[in-house]
Structure 1
Amino acid sequence: MIDSPTPRGGLRAALFAPLIVIAGTASVVPALLVANAPAIPHGSHASPQRSARPQRVVPPAELPPVEPVAFIDMSPDEARAYNEGVPFSSDPNPAARPFVFRGTAEDKARALDCLAAGVLYEAGDDAKGEQAVAQVVLNRLRHPAFPKTVCGVVFEGQERSTGCQFTFTCDGALTKWQPPEAAWARAREIAAMALNGRVFRPVGHATHYHTDWVVPYWQASLDKVAAVGSHLFFRWSGWWGTPPAFNRHQVAGEPVLAQLAPFSPPHRAGAEASGEAGAALAEGAVATGTAAPLASDPDMFLVTLPGSLAPEGFAAFALKLCGERKHCTVMAWRDGVAPPSTVPLTSGQMDAMAFSYLRDTAAGLERTLWNCTLYPALRGPRCMKRQVMTVMPPAPVPSPTPQASATPTAPGELGGVRRASSATIDPQKP
């Protein structure tokens, strides 16, 4: 016979079943909620921590890649906030060794102007910022990951709109803005000091920099080491950012950059020798017979521009016309507009002028100007200023006055000289 459960055993069984149901519900319901949870929308700008690539320290046996410039999508204010949160490296930041340029006079002249263009276009007319950029260029030259000439470092990737390392070399800045003479002279002085051993210690062995209102993708793989003005400076993490990694030397043969020809005599001479500056000459003005200087002034050209020549090529076109002249003026009009044959120009001819070039070697002056009404993409100091012709009113005709009767002239006095009366004589004046 089977004994019936005791009252205590029945109570236990009655409570156990509901507990099993509750426990199952507690584990199953959260799982269902997670599996069927709706997607959480994100803001228009991704979080920098999620967008930036994770830091990877490249081992010494692997050369670190030089990445093209690309930025995380965020507003300037977001970028500044993010950059402020990136700590400076706590590792030592030793200064780089002095760099002294070794090479021919021609190579050094071209290197100097490449470096001057780099510091001025990248840092603006700011002496401290220019010194910092110059140090980065020379640090790169010594690093195995970069070219081994000064011009090669500055203009690396210039042929690619998204691959240049210094943005001014591929964004058209060289055709839109020409350095003022004082700023260009100061940049050349800073470049000369850097090529003769001057070291800018604060940036150490930095090989990268960016302004504080952007965040490039490569930032996560580098160490932040310095801030100079609004620019932040970085070096590679690990061995590639230490002094032993900067063990390369420059090579001979600084390249010629035709883009610098309008304001760099060394590059202009090289471009003319290689024929780059005059590549468009045979196509246009010579064929139309307008490339000869004026008979009244052998240093002045009033010419028609080749119809297929882009505005960026006007400067090289003018350089070819001027050749080795110490003083030269080129005034040019677009194809289809008949250039004048004499000077001075009328106001209409001046308004229609498309381009002008002036060289005065004795005065240290060289200037290229575009008509930005015709070429609106070119703006800033390179734009011609419109000439305002001021018409002077005719001088009033004095009314006739009665002539005083002639008086005898005292002996020793000159006739016709007006003498001041004693009441108007100032004893303080000779």
Structure 2
Amino acid sequence: MLVAIAALAILLPLLLVRTAPPPVRHHHKVRPVPQRVVPQAELPPVEPVAFQDLDPQDARDYNADVPFVYGPNPAARPFKLAGDANERARATDCMAAAVLYEAGDDPVGQRAVAQVVINRVRHPAFPKTICGVVFQGSERSTGCQFTFTCDGALTRNRWSEAQWGRARTVAASALSGSVARKVGYATHYHTDWVVPYWQSSLDKIASVGTHLFFRWTGWWGTPAAFNRQVSSAEPIIAALAPYSEAHRGAEGFPIAQGALYDTAAAESPLPPALAGDGNSFLLTLDPDTMSPDGFAQFAARICADRSYCKVMGWIDPAMTPASLPLQPAQVAAMAFSYLRDKPRGYDKALWNCREFRRPVASQCMKAQTFLTTARLAAESLKIDEEPSPSAALPPHVPLLSDGLTGVRRKGDAPVIDGPAGAKPPLAVPALRTSPAADRR
């Protein structure tokens, strides 16, 4: 009896030690987000990517202590992208950019990243195109969903044609039914040397190389939640134009520079053209429902297959004109303009950068200067075209309230006119703000 009691006294603690879960170390530098199971009736929020302030080794230690969730991790269903050849080419190159810049020239890691993109496009919390998912949030300098789209990596880091070719092969395979089974229905991932703030609110389900994969808790992480009807209307991404023929216009340059996928831009009703001018549109834009990049997407959608088209937008409905010509205050208040002139090889969107910051100054309008009658004589020697305000004008150049037209001076950048004229359209100014206004 004594021997049995002694044996139990020794073996029982050993058994408890061997079967107990590993101790969780406290990392005082980490501020975890409380885990909340989002109910089925509420769409889970997609948080911008932001990281805890940890050095790489502390982050690795913290990530090693985060347990994998128990329970099944089913593989995702095969995915096959619909659409025509151009749409598939755009989706393939967006996916290739994602896998190459996120996982490097590693086919195993690339397949895992591709699976996350596909999981997202199927999930109603994310955009419904491949390019929309990959470039979500890229208009911000920080906080995009895939960091390479907003941290300058696309222009800073170049890959060889062979590496792009291998990435396109992985992308095409993923869009044709190949499944990375280990990743399951993960919608989030990160490398093990960083800790995003959202990490503690999700379930950790897999690791592939140095990448850790997560899915939402509750119903939104189950296969039933991935029921989105995916769209094949892949947007053109100007940032990919240097690498992708599919993301260039017919003449070899980007259409609607900066245009990314925006749900409001894709679904908002199209405005009517101006009476008597089926190629011109004046509209009010709502930045609360449509992103600045969505303005360009909406304009391209409005213009559709027109070879010549101009769209001008205002934020204040009171400033939105009903017809041309524009008044000086209306030109000054313009928030966005888009001009397409395919015969001349011109296709560009411009923003008022006092209202909307842009990643490059070439996307900014330049401040307009209007001359009064008193100043016109003093400035007349500087006019390099049409010195007489009574001369014939293209039909779209706005006449100002004092009877004068906008004056183009020497040194001004030329802007492409309509197909019948040869002078720049003042209503669509290819202009810049001051350097101070361009700083982010």
With the shorter chain as reference, the TM-score category is 0.5 to 0.7
How far apart, in 1, do the equivalents of 2:60 and 2:254 lie?
A: 47
CA-to-aligned-CA distance 1:247-267 (integer Å, 9 cap, x gap) = 002113101011111111111
CA-to-aligned-CA distance 1:399-429 (integer Å, 9 cap, x gap) = xxxxxxxxxxxxxxxxxxxxxxxxxxxxxxx
Equivalent of residue 217 in structure 1, options 197, 217, 235: 197
Q: Secondary structure at the match of 1:217?
A: coil
AA of the residue aligned to 2:138: Q
Instruction: Indicate if the aligned counterparts of 1:175 and 1:312 stay in contact, CA closer than 8 A.
Output: no
Going from structure 1 to structure 2, the CA distance change for 1:313 and 1:122 (only over 3 Å counts) comes to: farther
Give the 5 Å matches for 1:346-365.
Answer: none
User: Is 1:92–2:92 an aligned residue pair?
Assistant: no
How far apart, in 2, do the equivalents of 1:103 and 1:73 lie?
A: 43
Structure label with greater radius of gyration: 1
Cross-structure match for 2:128: 148
Cross-structure match for 1:172: 152
Going from structure 1 to structure 2, the CA distance change for 1:242 and 1:275 (only over 3 Å counts) comes to: closer
Cross-structure match for 1:31: none
User: Is 1:117–2:83 an aligned residue pair?
Assistant: no
How far apart, in 2, do the equivalents of 1:64 and 1:312 lie?
A: 33
Give the 5 Å matches for 1:26-425.
Answer: 46-48=28-30, 51-269=31-249, 272=253, 274=255, 276=257
Identity of aligned residues (%): 65
CA-to-aligned-CA distance 1:365-392 (integer Å, 9 cap, x gap) = xxxxxxxxxxxxxxxxxxxxxxxxxxxx
Q: Displacement, 1:55?
A: 0.9
Q: Secondary structure at the match of 1:269?
A: coil
Q: Secondary structure at the match of 1:145?
A: coil
Q: Displacement, 1:274?
A: 2.8
Instruction: Indicate if the aligned counterparts of 1:103 and 1:252 stay in contact, CA closer than 8 A.
Output: yes
Instruction: Indicate if the aligned counterparts of 2:238 and 2:254 stay in contact, CA closer than 8 A.
Output: no
AA of the residue aligned to 1:47: K
How far apart, in 2, do the equivalents of 1:128 and 1:266 lie?
A: 26
How far apart, in 1, do the equivalents of 2:210 and 2:46 lie?
A: 23
CA-to-aligned-CA distance 1:323-369 (integer Å, 9 cap, x gap) = xxxxxxxxxxxxxxxxxxxxxxxxxxxxxxxxxxxxxxxxxxxxxxx
CA-to-aligned-CA distance 1:30-72 (integer Å, 9 cap, x gap) = xxxxxxxxxxxxxxx8432xx1111111111111100001111
Q: Displacement, 1:74?
A: 1.4
Q: Displacement, 1:273?
A: 6.6
Going from structure 1 to structure 2, the CA distance change for 1:311 and 1:210 (only over 3 Å counts) comes to: closer
Aligned residues: 237
Instruction: Indicate if the aligned counterparts of 1:46 and 1:73 stay in contact, CA closer than 8 A.
Output: no
Going from structure 1 to structure 2, the CA distance change for 1:220 and 1:266 (only over 3 Å counts) comes to: same
Q: Displacement, 1:313?
A: 9.4
Instruction: Indicate if the aligned counterparts of 2:100 and 2:110 stay in contact, CA closer than 8 A.
Output: yes
Q: Displacement, 1:272?
A: 2.6
Q: Secondary structure at the match of 1:81?
A: helix
How far apart, in 1, do the equivalents of 2:256 and 2:219 lie?
A: 44
How far apart, in 1, do the equivalents of 2:361 and 2:106 lie?
A: 29
Instruction: Indicate if the aligned counterparts of 1:46 and 1:74 stay in contact, CA closer than 8 A.
Output: no
TM-score, normalising length: structure 1: 0.53
AA of the residue aligned to 1:67: E
Q: Secondary structure at the match of 2:199?
A: helix
Going from structure 1 to structure 2, the CA distance change for 1:73 and 1:185 (only over 3 Å counts) comes to: same
How far apart, in 2, do the equivalents of 1:114 and 1:193 lie?
A: 14
Instruction: Indicate if the aligned counterparts of 1:110 and 1:256 stay in contact, CA closer than 8 A.
Output: yes
Q: Displacement, 1:202?
A: 0.4
Q: Displacement, 1:276?
A: 4.1
Instruction: Indicate if the aligned counterparts of 2:123 and 2:227 stay in contact, CA closer than 8 A.
Output: yes
Q: Secondary structure at the match of 2:249?
A: helix
How far apart, in 2, do the equivalents of 1:274 and 1:127 lie?
A: 31
Q: Secondary structure at the match of 2:198?
A: helix
AA of the residue aligned to 2:204: K
CA-to-aligned-CA distance 1:88-123 (integer Å, 9 cap, x gap) = 111200000000001111100000000000000000
How far apart, in 2, do the equivalents of 1:252 and 1:108 lie?
A: 8
AA of the residue aligned to 2:247: H
Specify every segment of 5 or more residues in structure 2 that has no aligned partner in the other structure, as ranges: 1-26, 259-357, 363-440
TM-score, normalising length: structure 2: 0.52
Instruction: Indicate if the aligned counterparts of 2:247 and 2:254 stay in contact, CA closer than 8 A.
Output: no
Give the stretch that moved more between structures: 227-236 or 267-276: 267-276
How far apart, in 1, do the equivalents of 2:142 and 2:214 lie?
A: 21
How far apart, in 2, do the equivalents of 1:275 and 1:236 lie?
A: 35
Pairwise CA RMSD of aligned residues? 2.2
Instruction: Indicate if the aligned counterparts of 2:124 and 2:226 stay in contact, CA closer than 8 A.
Output: yes
How far apart, in 1, do the equivalents of 2:128 and 2:92 lie?
A: 15
AA of the residue aligned to 2:29: S
Q: Secondary structure at the match of 1:115?
A: helix
Q: Displacement, 1:269?
A: 3.0
Going from structure 1 to structure 2, the CA distance change for 1:160 and 1:138 (only over 3 Å counts) comes to: same
Going from structure 1 to structure 2, the CA distance change for 1:273 and 1:70 (only over 3 Å counts) comes to: closer
